[in-house]
Each structure stands twice: as structure tokens, then as C-alpha cells.
Amino acid sequence: MANRPLSPHLQIWKWGPNMAVSILHRATGDGLALVGLAVMVWWLGALASGPEAYATFLAIATSPVGWVFMVGLSWAFFSHLCSGLRHFVLDIGAGYELKTNNTWSIVSPLVGIALTVGFWAIVLLR
């Protein structure tokens, strides 16, 4: 067997905020695609099936477990949105300086949390 260099892997790379937010971006996107799609299809199906089916959906969606799912989905949406905007800026060629990249990697999930809190404050306090 040839003596070729091994590719670096997760045990060799030094973890940084940019790696963590990139993985978080993928995880929130998958969560939105799987869980968000399932909730949306269930909601639309209940809406089309009549008042009894919709009442069942509302009862489960407003239960404690339903609140966890709804708040989690909204957090995933806002976090994915902020991270996607960060990636968009990187795609146009800006923000690659290490300090700038690390700063925006830390700020983007925090803004996602703030947007989630603001969204639910508006929904619950109206």
C-alpha cells in the first residue's frame, strides 16, 4: 500500500465557532425539512378535514409537547435564516477574515434566539 497522507478529520481540525455554526445550519435545515414539513402537512390535512380534525390538531399543538415543537421549529427557522444570510455574505466574497468570520459565527445563532423570543412575544402578547 502506498504511503499517502491522510486527509484531516474532525479529531485533527481545531474546532471554532464557524465550524459549529455550519453544522448547526445543516441540522436546522434538516429539522425544518423533516419536522416542519410533517407539521405543515398535518396542519393542512386537519384544516381540509373539517372542524373535528382541526380541533384535534389545535389540542395537540397547544399542549406542552406541541409548544416545544412549535418553539423549536421557529428557533430552527430563525437560526437557519441568520446562518443562511451569513453564508450568503460569504458566497459574495466578504467576511472571510478570521476575526470577522468568528464574530458573525457567534452572532448569527444569538440573533436567531433573539428573533425567536421576539416572535413568540408578539404571538403571545397580542
The answer to whether 80 is annotated as binding is yes
Q: Crossing angle of helices 37-49/51-61, nearest 10°? A: 150
Cell 425567536 belongs to 116
Would you say 28 and 79 are in contact if contact means Cβ atoms under 8 Å apart? yes
Q: Are 68 and 35 in contact (CB under 8 A)?
A: no
Annotated binding-site positions: 80
Q: Which residue ranges are tagged as binding site for heme?
A: 80
